[in-house]
Amino acid sequence: DAGITQSPRHKVTETGTPVTLRCHQTENHRYMYWYRQDPGHGLRLIHYSYGVKDTDKGEVSDGYSVSRSKTEDFLLTLESATSSQTSVYFCAIRDRARDSPLHFGNGTRLTVT
């Protein structure tokens, strides 16, 4: 399995509080992605990164920010968590080769009360 660690694995927080999720990789892959998945729905892209300090928005980026200060870490921040951000969050990585596939972490289950 690809060396991807998401932390925390579970988190319960209150509406209005800031939350940061971490994705850490040991593969030295260039590209990193954050997705969310809600019950009965597929994966939706939040933000992605194509290098250190290089990030871009995905399909559902409102209410989220990201940072990538070093290759191995991609942080997802909810500045002020809302109940609609209750979800499972998946991080994925991909190498720089043109046909490289995605490899996913095990997810973080976030509940905003």
| Site track 63-102 with another protein (rule: CB under 8 A), x = hit | -------------------------x-x-x-x-x-xx-xx
| Sole residue written with tokens 């870490």 | 73
Interacting residues with another protein between 25 and 54 (CB under 8 A): 31, 33, 35, 42-45, 48, 50
DSSP-derived pairing of the beta strands 19-25 and 73-78 = antiparallel
Applying CB under 8 A, the residues found at the interface with another protein are: 31, 33, 35, 42-45, 48, 50, 56, 58-59, 88, 90, 92, 94, 96, 98-99, 101-107
